[in-house]
Amino acid sequence: MSTHDSNGSAGDGGLERHDDDHGALERHGEVSAVPERFENPGLPDHLHRVTDVDPRAARRAERQVALMFGLSALGTIVTTVAYYAVQLDSDLSFDAYLGRVKLSNFLLGFGLFLALFFVGAGAIHWAKTLMPDDERVEYRHLQRGTEEQRADALRILKEGAAETGLGRRPLLRNSLLGAMALIPLPAVFLLRDTGPLPGDSLSTTVWKKGTRLTLDPTGQPLKAEDLTIGSIAHIMPEGIEKTEHPLDERAKAAVLVMRLNPDDLAEESQAGAFSGIVAYSKICTHMGCPVALYEQQTHHLLCPCHQSTFDLKQNCKVIFGPAKRPLPQLPITVDDEGYLVAKDGFSQAVGPSFWERG
Amino acid sequence: MTALAARRRHPLATAVLVLIGLVVMGAAYAAVLPGRAAASGTVSADVEAGRKVFLANCATCHGLQAQGRNNAPSLIGVGAASVDFQVGTGRMPLQQSGPQAPQSKRKLSDDEVRQVAAYIASLSPGPSIPTSEEYAATGGDVSRGGLIFRTNCAMCHNFAGKGGALTRGKYAASLTGVEPKYIYEAMLTGPQSMPVFNDQTMDPQAKKDVIAYLQTIEKAPSPGGFALGSIGPVSEGLVGWAVGLLALIGCAVWLGRKTS
């Protein structure tokens, strides 16, 4: 409870100067024209709390604090018991397991809440009701040192600079500068090698001429007649699970196949369409979310993340939202057995923009 | 015999022969097809009754021949399943025009729904109403259903099947509490904005799996405690900000107040 004692000799001088007038303004005498407006009103009278004057109230507060600490202890016990008592056995049924997880989460959370909240609440209630609450004044001291201290510090700095002899020994100075200039160099190759460079992986997918369209996630190939008008199918290229990095490839190769009335298709999508069936990349050109909401009456494709809307009837042109480029079309045809296959890979990179894509 | 032989060149002989032939043919036809005639009696009665119900309730918008007018689509070829879904869930007959026909109280009786379905199915072939074995969840693989649901359905209907918004006031309906039959029919026919998932793009077993998955998550307890409608960050954020922040502000006020 430091009141007028301060922390350090440096502040003593300042403190003395300004204990009485409580500020720097009047020390300089600049506002003497209206001094009464800034008169220090002083502190209000100290009001005693109920617990200060009534011993029964104090005892009651004491019991309340003890109760809070008791609740905290109870919470710790609940947490400990719950952790060991509620076992998540793997042989439980799905529903029973989820029920167990729910009970476990609830007991652990509730127990920890009791333990942590009430130890803090008890401490605060204790401080507010039982510990002394009389007002004490502690003035700030000046941060500026005395003139002697400032001159001393400056002298030390100058002496140090002279002692290094940098001005007299240019060899030392130049070699130091050279060494410092070289230090950032390892960052270039260390940071460069933190991961493989993407190469052309952002621009390519596993789709190539003749790749069959298979249903996601069942993997069965799809015939043209399987799709009725108004249908949609979520498609992955055949054999994607056998690639080196299936998840990376899936993230790029996902395709949507829809069948429309052929007259509804735009001129530019006709070349890659097969009797009204069109395939478009499912990866949004904005941030790469799966554009999978399809309104079969309006033929709009929506991205669930930022509501970019692509119009299937206009070659997936963006008609709303933050996406800037249309979804790339995958040209398709059928093979000898009637299965839908890619006529070619994507003619442009799928998904969001990146530096080299432009 | 001789009398008959003698009259075989009578001018009426040909006419009599033709008459006898026709009578025999007619009798044989009637003898061969009595069962079918009897069975198609109820179907055609349903079709006829369905046509009347259709004219009374649906023809104003869909046209006298169910050919569709203005914004009302043609019903030729939509199949019985589509009628059963739209009328059975009360979406049709439409009460007022809007972005989407909402689910509401059913206006036609079971019989009337069946009759209209029979009438529409008689116009042109289309998906028929699934049988209870087809749409029952028994025998469905819940885990596979989850995979299929997350790939094909979750983007519109939400990960927990709670539905979600589409454009211009349209929305994907909540799947909670929907009868399995209607879920099956919706996949089969693609009502309103929903695309079609026919038996080739999503085979009957896959549909069964999806229904089994939906029924499982519907009654499964929420491991997080309060599901808050399972609609994701909107309700969770609201509760976090409104309840959590209010509690913190309350604590701060209590901390700063002078004890009396």
- Which ipTM was obtained for this model? 0.71
User: CA of B43: how far to CAs of A237, A242, B130, in Å?
Assistant: 46, 53, 17
Q: How many CB pairs under 8 A join A and B?
A: 100
Q: Can you tell me which residue has the tokens 């099947």?
A: B161
How confident is the model at residue A32, as a pLDDT?
A: 57
How confident is the model at residue A282, as a pLDDT?
A: 93
Q: Look up the pTM and report it.
A: 0.73
How confident is the model at residue B65, as a pLDDT?
A: 87
Among B164, B193, B219, select the one facing A296 at the smallest CB separation.
Answer: B193
- Mutation target among B167, B217, B230 for the A interface, most CBs of A within 10 A: B167
pLDDT digits (tens, 9 = 90+) for A171-216: 999 999 999 999 999 998 888 878 777 778 888 899 999 999 999 8
Rounded Cα distance between A299 and A27, Å, is: 79
Q: Which of A56, A313, A135, A341 is nearest to A224 (CA)?
A: A341
State which H helix or E strand residue A119 sits in. helix A94-129
Among A105, A124, A222, select the one facing B223 at the smallest CB separation.
Answer: A105
Rounded Cα distance between B164 and B185, Å, is: 20
Chain A hits for B151, Cβ within 8 Å: 216-217, 234
How confident is the model at residue B35, as a pLDDT?
A: 45
Quickly list DSSP for B139-180: T--HHHHHHHHHHHTHHHH-TTS--EE-STT-EEPP-TT--H
Single-letter residue type at A155: R
First-to-last alpha carbon distance for chain A, in angstroms, is 66
How confident is the model at residue A6, as a pLDDT?
A: 40
Rounded Cα distance between A344 and A207, Å, is: 7
The residues pairing with A215 across neighbouring beta strands, listed in sequence order, are A235
Rounded Cα distance between A291 and A301, Å, is: 7
DSSP A280: E
CB contact under 8 A, A50 and B167: no
| Residue ranges in chain A whose pLDDT is less than 50 | 1-27, 29
Q: Can you tell me which residue has the tokens 């998550």?
A: B217
Q: Are the C-beta atoms of residues B192 and B101 closer than 8 Å to each other?
A: yes
Rounded Cα distance between A132 and A117, Å, is: 23
Q: What CA dihedral angle connects B202, B208, B209 and B213, to 10 degrees?
A: 120
Rounded Cα distance between B214 and B220, Å, is: 10
Per the structure block, which two tokens stand in for B141? Answer: 């693989």
How confident is the model at residue B229, as a pLDDT?
A: 85
Q: What is the mean pLDDT of each run of 10 residues along chain B (260 residues)?
A: 67 80 77 48 80 89 87 87 91 84 87 90 88 87 92 90 87 91 92 89 91 90 84 89 95 89
Chain B hits for A222, Cβ within 8 Å: 200-201
How confident is the model at residue B23, as a pLDDT?
A: 83
Q: Which of B239, B236, B218 is nearest to B159 (CA)?
A: B218
How confident is the model at residue A19, as a pLDDT?
A: 44
The residues pairing with A281 across neighbouring beta strands, listed in sequence order, are A255
Among B152, B219, B223, select the one facing A102 at the smallest CB separation.
Answer: B223
